């Protein structure tokens, strides 16, 4: 691999994998999505203005690839073997310790329009402005989704607790 | 709710007696008394509001606008907490983090390199606000219920 691409892979692979995993909830599909995102970036002729845009582009593309896979007819007819959606939070490999797996599990169960903003805001520590850029939405939309998503997480946790 | 219920104390009765005492010159006196009693009532209401706010702030968690947030106790600001500029510290740089999805905020803490035990705490809320505090550990009460103070103590223990 060329030198100029290897830094990119080293720098973003782990983070992109976690974002892909939060959408796919299985290792193989998450890895496929990240590989595809890197390939698209390398083939893309358009120059990226700066590092922040580069990162935003990669995250956005990874999410789009995940959503395309999830929507595909093939994916909907198959189930990954040997992995359970129930324990997705344990396999996400965050670079810090999360004391509350139950909440992360609930976040991963949210509908996609809540899940991605919430995951990026809380677990990858992105600012609302950055999330708006990554997801191509207005900041106000992200704030609304964070608020409503939070209410959905509360509901999910309440339903789970006896 | 009637006026009696609002006033509801000994002062109200005394005021009524004075009010029926006379006209003319009595009017001025009555007006002055009226003003005085109104002031007293307003102060009483303000005191009640302040009391309730103090209780919420002592706990450290309040509600600002529609989003839950961490209210900083005014007294605590003078004591253990000092508002400082936000450094935009990453999770990797932090010694301790708290992710409170259901409350709508995250906290990041880092022990400062200084002779006095100090912790830098950064708070990020889901309404877009970001705040940062310098916390002097020595000034925190052992029994504090203030969220940021407690988090600073946890950061100190983690580091």
B97 → closest Cβ in A96, A106, A147: A96
Of A93, A118, A138, which marks where a domain is finished?
Answer: A93
Of A43, A75, A93, which marks where a domain is finished?
Answer: A93
Average pLDDT over residues B140-150: 89
A13 and A75 within one domain: yes
Inter-chain touch A147–B67, beta carbons under 8 Å: yes
A103 → closest Cβ in B66, B92, B101: B101
- List, for residues A61-75, the tens digit of each pLDDT value: 999 999 999 888 777
Residue A82 — pLDDT band, cuts 50, 70, 90? low
Pick the range with the lowest mean pLDDT from A90-94, B100-104, B107-111, B146-150: A90-94
Backbone phi, psi, residue B142, to 5°: -60, -25
Residue A27 — pLDDT band, cuts 50, 70, 90? confident
Pick the range with the lowest mean pLDDT from A26-30, A91-95, A109-113, B16-20: B16-20
State chain B's mean pLDDT as an integer.
70
A108 and A68 within one domain: no
Of A75, A93, A111, which marks where a domain is finished?
Answer: A93
A108 and A62 within one domain: no
Domain count for chain A: 2
pLDDT of B12 reads: 43
Structural domain range at position A29: 1-93
A102 and A76 within one domain: no
A31 and A15 within one domain: yes
pLDDT of A127 reads: 95
DSSP element (H, E) containing B10: helix B10-19
A102 and A150 within one domain: yes
Inter-chain touch A123–B67, beta carbons under 8 Å: no
A100–B contact, CB cutoff 8 A: yes
Q: How far lies B82's CA from each of A34, A59, B115, in Å?
A: 43, 36, 17
Pick the range with the lowest mean pLDDT from A45-59, A109-123, B58-72: B58-72
A142 and A162 within one domain: yes
A139–B contact, CB cutoff 8 A: yes
Beta bridge partners of B96: B109
A77 and A41 within one domain: yes
pLDDT of B73 reads: 53
Q: Is the dihedral of CA A109, A111, A114, A115 positive or negative?
A: positive
pLDDT of A6 reads: 83
A145, B97 in Cβ contact below 8 A? no
Inter-chain touch B102–A154, beta carbons under 8 Å: yes
A134 and A57 within one domain: no
A81 and A111 within one domain: no
State chain A's mean pLDDT as an integer.
87
pLDDT of B64 reads: 33
Inter-chain touch A143–B127, beta carbons under 8 Å: yes
- Dig out the tokens for B108 from the structure: 């990041």
A159 and A140 within one domain: yes
pLDDT of A146 reads: 97
CATH number for position A116:
1.10.10.10
Average pLDDT over residues B21-47: 54
Inter-chain touch A95–B91, beta carbons under 8 Å: yes
User: What are A13-19's contacts with CB under 8 Å, separation 24+?
Assistant: A14/A93, A14/A95, A15/A59, A15/A124, A16/A58, A16/A59, A16/A62, A17/A93, A18/A92, A18/A93, A18/A94, A18/A123, A18/A124, A19/A59, A19/A62, A19/A63, A19/A116, A19/A119, A19/A120, A19/A124
Average pLDDT over residues B55-82: 52
pLDDT of B144 reads: 87
A145 and A75 within one domain: no
pLDDT of B66 reads: 35
């Amino acid at each position: 691999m060329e030198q100029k691409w290897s830094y990119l892979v080293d720098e973003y692979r782990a983070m992109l994998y976690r974002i892909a995993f939060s959408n796919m909830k299985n290792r193989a599909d998450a890895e496929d999505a990240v590989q595809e995102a890197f390939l698209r970036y390398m083939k893309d002729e358009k120059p990226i203005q700066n590092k922040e845009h580069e990162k935003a582009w990669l995250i956005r593309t990874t999410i789009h690839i995940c959503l395309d896979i999830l929507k595909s007819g093939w994916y909907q007819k198959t189930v990954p073997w040997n992995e359970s959606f129930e324990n997705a939070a344990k396999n996400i490999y965050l670079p810090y310790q999360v004391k509350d797996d139950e909440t992360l599990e609930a976040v991963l169960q949210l509908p996609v329009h809540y899940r991605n903003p919430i995951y990026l805001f809380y677990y990858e520590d992105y600012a609302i402005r950055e999330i708006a850029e990554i997801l191509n939405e207005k900041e106000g939309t992200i704030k609304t989704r964070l608020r409503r998503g939070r209410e959905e997480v509360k509901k999910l946790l309440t339903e789970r607790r006896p | 709710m009637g006026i009696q219920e609002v006033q509801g104390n000994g002062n109200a009765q005394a005021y009524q007696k004075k009010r029926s005492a006379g006209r003319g010159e009595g009017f001025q006196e009555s007006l002055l008394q009226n003003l005085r009693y109104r002031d007293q009532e307003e102060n009483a209401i303000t005191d009640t509001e302040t009391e309730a706010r103090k209780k919420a702030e002592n706990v450290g968690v309040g509600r600002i606008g529609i989003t839950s947030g961490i209210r900083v106790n005014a007294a605590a600001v003078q004591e253990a907490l000092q508002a400082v500029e936000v450094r935009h510290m990453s999770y990797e740089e932090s010694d301790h983090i708290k992710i409170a999805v259901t409350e709508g905020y995250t906290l990041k803490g880092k022990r400062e390199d200084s002779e006095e035990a100090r912790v830098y705490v950064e708070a990020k809320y889901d309404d877009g606000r970001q705040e940062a505090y310098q916390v002097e550990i020595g000034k925190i009460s052992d029994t504090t219920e203030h969220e940021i103070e407690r988090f600073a103590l946890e950061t100190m223990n983690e580091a």
